[in-house]
């Protein structure tokens, strides 16, 4: 602790706060976040169709699928994990069953089923997207929506 010699000659402790350690910690945290953010953001590179859109609300229980046509057929991704037709059906049935059980069972009042949000590459053949929709409907999902990218400068109008 620093002691100051005041004009009265009394030795009194200084009441100033040393902010240098705080600034050092904040700079270290800033550097850590600048390095960590690009690692956390991972997406699958897709060219989405350019259309007018209506904003959607994303809920954590919704299923996000990305679809694109590849040289060896259709590529379907559940989040960031590539799945085949059988795995997609198994995961979808398990997800829907878990969500229904979480809300109190199939006879619960006010049951809100999750939705499927599909991001399809613009060059994906229809059979890939149609097959995925069919699989999700077989699993029991009722609401299926498409995520698209709006034209630059176009806005949405609300009524």
3-state secondary structure of 68: strand
Domains of the chain: 3-40 (no CATH), 63-146 (3.30.420.270)
Question: Which residues lie closer than 8 Å to 147 by C-beta, 6 or more apart?
Answer: 48, 56, 117, 118, 119
Whole-Å CA distances, 154 to 54, 115, 121, 149: 11, 26, 21, 10
Rounded distance, CA 127 to CA 143, Å?
19
pTM of the model: 0.62
**Cβ atoms of 96 and 145 closer than 8 Å:** no
Interval 77-134: pLDDT, tens: 998 999 999 999 999 999 999 999 988 888 888 888 889 999 998 888 989 999 999 9
């Amino acid at each position: 602790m620093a002691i100051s010699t005041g004009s009265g000659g009394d030795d009194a402790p200084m009441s100033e706060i040393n902010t240098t350690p705080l600034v050092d910690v904040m700079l270290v945290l800033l550097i850590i976040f600048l390095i960590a953010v690009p690692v956390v953001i991972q997406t699958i590179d897709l060219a989405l169709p350019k259309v007018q859109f209506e904003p959607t609300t994303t809920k954590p229980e919704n299923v996000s699928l990305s679809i694109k046509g590849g040289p060896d057929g259709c590529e379907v991704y559940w989040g960031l994990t590539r799945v085949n037709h059988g795995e997609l059906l198994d995961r979808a049935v398990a997800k829907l069953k878990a969500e229904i059980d979480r809300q109190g069972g199939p006879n619960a009042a006010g049951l809100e089923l999750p939705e499927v949000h599909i991001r399809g590459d613009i060059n994906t053949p229809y059979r890939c997207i149609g097959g995925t929709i069919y699989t999700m409907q077989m699993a029991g999902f009722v609401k299926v929506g498409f995520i698209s990218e709006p034209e630059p400068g176009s806005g949405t109008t609300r009524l």
